[in-house]
């Protein structure tokens, strides 16, 4: 294979990778006029405090902009799949665009996102809800929530130790191992 073919294949692969995390063109970040955080932190029936306390998860304008840049559309079936990771935490916002369009967006720390368009009265416009995933959002938010995850692990392990489900004195070493597993390993990079 000559250099031209190798370059062409490399460019094709690079464009395919970029397309998998391309934002929805209906909601361009460049046209965002205003963001209103309507629900900075909501807990649902899916909340698992042993994993993450929703009080530690707060949606920001930066989170919304980041999501708009990186979310990719998925089917409703994929969004509600049993295999989909859920934290039980959610934040909500209204996004207003310069062209007059407005949406409500719900963002989970796991990168699950749902949107629906709003009419002039800020009510659902009658169009179906749209579902997204955002892997970069999940990585970013979970990195920001590392302390919250550590606190949840500590609560869970101490409870398990107190209940006798793990041997006495094992909560601290296990907690240390979990914290170390969340730290980037420079030798692997």
Please tell me the number of Cα atoms within 13 Å of 51 on its side-chain side.
Answer: 12
| Contact indicator for 137, 71 with CB cutoff of 8 Å | yes
Q: Which of 67, 48, 59, 60 is nearest to 149 (CA)?
A: 48
Interhelix angle 146-162/171-182, nearest 10 degrees: 160
Q: What angle do CA 168, 174, 175 make, to 5 degrees?
A: 110
- pLDDT at position 22 is 55
Is 68 buried (19+), middle (13-18) or exposed (0-12) by CB count in 10 A?
Answer: buried
Q: Looking at the domain assignment, is residue 3 inside a domain? A: no
Q: Looking at the domain assignment, is residue 100 inside a domain? A: yes
Span 55-67, average pLDDT? 91
The answer to whether residues 93 and 167 belong to one domain is no
The answer to whether residues 127 and 158 belong to one domain is no
Q: Which of 139, 130, 149 is nearest to 66 (CA)?
A: 139
The answer to whether residues 134 and 177 belong to one domain is no
Domain count, the chain: 2
Name the least confident of 55-59, 98-102, 131-135: 55-59
The answer to whether residues 137 and 74 belong to one domain is yes
**The two three-digit tokens of residue 109, written as one number:** 């720390």
Q: Looking at the domain assignment, is residue 4 inside a domain? A: no
Residue located via tokens 């909560």: 171
First to last CA, the chain: 30
Q: Looking at the domain assignment, is residue 87 inside a domain? A: yes
The answer to whether residues 39 and 126 belong to one domain is yes
The answer to whether residues 70 and 54 belong to one domain is yes
pLDDT (tens digit, 9 = 90+) per residue, 137-152? 988 887 777 777 788 8
Q: Which domain holds residue 173?
A: 148-183
pLDDT (tens digit, 9 = 90+) per residue, 152-185? 888 888 888 899 999 999 889 988 888 888 776 6
Q: Looking at the domain assignment, is residue 122 inside a domain? A: yes
Contacts of 6 (CB under 8 A, 6+ apart): none
The answer to whether residues 57 and 85 belong to one domain is yes
Three-state secondary-structure class, residue 145: coil
**The two three-digit tokens of residue 32, written as one number:** 């965002």
Three-state secondary-structure class, residue 115: strand
The answer to whether residues 124 and 35 belong to one domain is yes
The answer to whether residues 139 and 162 belong to one domain is no
The answer to whether residues 60 and 131 belong to one domain is yes
Q: Looking at the domain assignment, is residue 166 inside a domain? A: yes
Q: Is the pTM of this model over 0.75?
A: no
Q: Looking at the domain assignment, is residue 10 inside a domain? A: no
The answer to whether residues 55 and 133 belong to one domain is yes
Span 63-76, average pLDDT? 95
The answer to whether residues 33 and 98 belong to one domain is yes
- Res 2 pLDDT > 70: no
Across the strands, what pairs with 118? 102, 124
Q: Looking at the domain assignment, is residue 188 inside a domain? A: no
């Amino acid at each position: 294979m000559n250099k031209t073919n190798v370059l062409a294949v490399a460019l094709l692969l690079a464009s395919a990778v970029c397309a998998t995390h391309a934002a929805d063109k209906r909601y361009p970040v460049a046209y965002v006029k205003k963001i209103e955080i309507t629900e900075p932190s909501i807990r649902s029936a899916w909340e698992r405090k042993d994993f993450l306390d929703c009080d530690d998860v707060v949606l920001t304008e930066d989170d919304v902009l980041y999501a708009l840049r990186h979310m990719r559309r998925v089917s409703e079936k994929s969004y509600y799949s049993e295999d989909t990771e859920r934290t039980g935490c959610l934040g909500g916002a209204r996004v207003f665009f310069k062209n007059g369009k407005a949406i409500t967006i719900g963002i989970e720390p796991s990168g699950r996102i749902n949107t629906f368009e709003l009419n002039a009265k800020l009510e659902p416009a009658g169009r179906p809800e749209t579902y997204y995933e955002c892997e970069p959002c999940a990585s970013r938010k979970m990195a920001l929530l590392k302390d919250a995850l550590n606190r949840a692990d500590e609560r869970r392990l101490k409870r398990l130790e107190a209940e006798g489900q793990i041997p006495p004195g094992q909560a601290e070493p296990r907690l240390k191992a979990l914290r170390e597993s969340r730290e980037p390993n420079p030798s692997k990079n």
